[in-house]
Amino acid sequence: MTQLATATRSYPLAERAFRDSDRASALGRLEPDRLTDHVDALYRAACALCGSRPDAEDLVQETFAQVLKRPRFVRRDRELGYLLRALRNTYYSRCRTAARRPVTVALPELAAPAASEPTFSATEIMQALAGVPAPYRDAVIAVDIVGLSYREAARALRAREATITTRLYRGRQHVARVLLDTAEAN
């Protein structure tokens, strides 16, 4: 038996260290300057995967970004294979991410022109507001016309904030009802 065989039997870590040193000498660092040698092949593969040029360009760029994030050690004769595998994995990751996103669809209301809603002048609105009972009118004027917050309106009108909210809702309903009735009459 050779001396190495005897050493590896009794010392399995020595064999691993020997293999690792042999493997390390065959590997070289993937240099950013050498990536440009493979751009055309990656672009062709990306076009085949994506089906469109802009998506293929984005995929190649994203692949380069992923590969250049940290140092990679690859055999010189296997750089292209490594890059193509990274390209494929990036493409699949993109597809999985896109599948998880909800599909957005334009709402029919936004796509179609809106039905004509009646428009009212300021005098019509003020006349409708004048017909509202006083507590409701005061809440509507304080919040919608003067621009006070609910809390400020509650302090000014000496009422609770919840009461202002209720009065505001009822006052707005009353104004809307009056305005729609006048619009239907005309």
Same domain, 92 and 137: no
Decide if 28 contacts 76 (C-beta within 8 A): yes
Spatial separation of the C-alpha atoms in residues 8 and 76, rounded to whole Å: 29
Domain endpoint, select from 47, 68, 100: 100
Classify residue 16: in a domain, yes or no: no
157 assigned to some structural domain: yes
What was the pLDDT predicted at 1?
Answer: 46
Give a yes or no: residue 89 inside a domain.
yes
Over 90: is that where the pLDDT of 171 sits? Answer: yes
Mean pLDDT, to the nearest integer, of 93-107?
85
Flag whether 11 is in a domain.
no
Say how far apart CA 173 and CA 152 lie, in whole Å: 22
Q: Is the pLDDT of residue 139 over 90?
A: yes
CATH number where 143 lies: 1.10.10.10
Residue 147: inside a domain, yes or no? yes
Quick check: is 13 in a domain? Answer: no
**Is pLDDT above 60 for 14?**
no
Tens digit of pLDDT for each residue in 102-136? 888 777 665 555 566 778 888 888 899 999 999 99
Range of the domain at 148: 122-181
Structure tokens of 125? Answer: 């609105």
Q: Summarize pLDDT for 34-83 with one digit per residue, the tens.
A: 888 888 999 999 989 888 899 999 999 999 999 888 888 888 778 888 89
State whether 34 and 94 are in the same domain. Answer: yes
The answer for residues whose C-beta is within 8 angstroms of residue 167's C-beta and 6 or more apart is 135, 136, 138, 139, 140, 159
In a domain, 110, yes or no: no
Are residues 50 and 91 both part of a single domain?
yes
Q: Is 166 buried (19+), middle (13-18) or exposed (0-12) by CB count in 10 A?
A: middle
The half-sphere exposure of 98 on its side-chain side, counting CA atoms within 13 A, is 6
Does 31 share its domain with 96? Answer: yes
Q: Could you tell me if residue 162 is inside a domain? A: yes
Quote the CA–CA distance of 50 and 95 in Å, as a whole number: 10
Query: Do 63 and 32 reside in the same domain of the chain?
Result: yes
Kindly report the CATH number assigned to the domain that includes residue 35.
1.10.1740
Are the C-beta atoms of 163 and 154 separated by less than 8 Å?
yes
Spell out the SS3 assignment of 67-135.
HHCCCCEEEHHHHHHHHHHHHHHHHHHHHHHHHHCCCCCCCHHHHCCCCCCCCCCHHHHHHHHHCCCHH
Whether residues 38 and 72 share a domain: the answer is yes
Q: Do 39 and 84 share a domain, yes or no?
A: yes
User: How many domains, in total, are found in the chain?
Assistant: 2
